């Protein structure tokens, strides 16, 4: 069983924010797999379940708002008695250029509150993650920047990056080998 978590904030006003790129990736993955999300109160989020190559896969978009994402992730992990190695968390990272992503097996939160909440609730930094680049703001406050939408000139590049991220997720589900996925998709 694999759990793919996309981080973001619920609600229409946040839909296209940089901070919601984790939700965008999961939405694209769900469309590719032709599955829908359903609200699940017990997990405080939207959940979709499917099978890929006989592997049960759960997609989760927490509705706790970014800073409390760990509550939703912990609830679903406890319910399904999952191991941290079977999780992949997708979220935004300002230290990676827009249009690129990095896959990591572990690490600190780097100041990203959503993954920070997950690390705190699970009691470990050993959580596989796919960090989607949104670049660092030059002239904006960080909060205004991450809660702002991608500029029109970046949309095509962001969509291409989302497509590649979906490919990486599918390879992770298919092989269960995060090292293979990192070797194939991490760009220098």
Q: How much is the pLDDT for 138? A: 86
Please determine, for residue 37, whether its predicted confidence score (pLDDT) is greater than 70.
Answer: yes
pLDDT at 97: 96
Dist CA 106 CA 104 (whole Å): 6
For the chain, the average pLDDT equals 96
- What confidence score (pLDDT) does residue 23 get? 98
User: Rounded distance, CA 91 to CA 131, Å?
Assistant: 5
Residue 155 · residue 130 · CB < 8 Å: no
User: Domain ranges in the chain?
Assistant: 2-185
pLDDT at 50 > cutoff 90:
yes
> For residue 140, what pLDDT is reported?
75
Task: List residues with catalytic annotation.
Answer: 19
Q: Is 2-185 assigned to CATH 3.40.50.1470? A: yes
Give per-residue pLDDT as tens, 75-105.
999 999 999 989 999 999 999 999 999 999 9
First to last CA, the chain: 30
Best CA proximity match to 131, nearest among 30, 22, 57, 58: 22
Determine if residue 67 is labeled as part of a ligand binding site.
Answer: yes
User: At 188, is the pLDDT very low, low, confident or very high (cuts 50, 70, 90)?
Assistant: low
Residues 22, 33: Cα–Cα separation, whole Å = 17
φ, ψ of residue 176 to 5 degrees: the values are 70, 10
pLDDT tens digit sequence for 111-137: 999 999 999 999 999 999 999 999 999
DSSP 13: G
User: Which SS3 state, helix, strand or coil, does residue 176 take?
Assistant: coil
Alpha-carbon distance of 26 to 36, in angstroms, equals 10
CA pair distance 143, 137, nearest whole angstrom? 10
In this prediction, residue 53 has a pLDDT band, given cuts at 50, 70 and 90, of confident
3-state secondary structure of 57: strand
């Amino acid at each position: 069983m694999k759990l793919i978590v996309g981080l973001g904030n619920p609600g229409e006003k946040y839909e296209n924010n940089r901070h919601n790129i984790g939700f965008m990736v999961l939405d694209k993955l769900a469309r590719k797999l032709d599955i829908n999300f359903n609200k699940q109160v017990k997990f405080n989020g939207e959940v979709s379940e499917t099978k890929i190559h006989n592997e049960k896969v759960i997609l989760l978009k927490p509705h706790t708002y970014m800073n409390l994402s760990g509550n939703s992730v912990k609830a679903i992990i406890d319910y399904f008695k999952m191991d941290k190695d079977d999780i992949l968390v997708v979220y935004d990272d300002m230290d990676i250029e827009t249009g690129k992503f990095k896959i990591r097996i572990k690490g600190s939160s780097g100041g990203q509150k959503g993954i920070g909440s997950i690390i705190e609730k699970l009691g470990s930094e050993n959580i596989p993650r796919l960090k989607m680049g949104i670049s660092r703001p030059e002239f904006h406050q960080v909060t205004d920047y991450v809660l702002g939408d991608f500029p029109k000139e970046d949309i095509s590049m962001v969509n291409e990056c989302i497509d590649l991220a979906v490919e990486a997720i599918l390879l992770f589900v298919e092989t269960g080998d995060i090292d293979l996925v990192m070797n194939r998709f991490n760009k220098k």
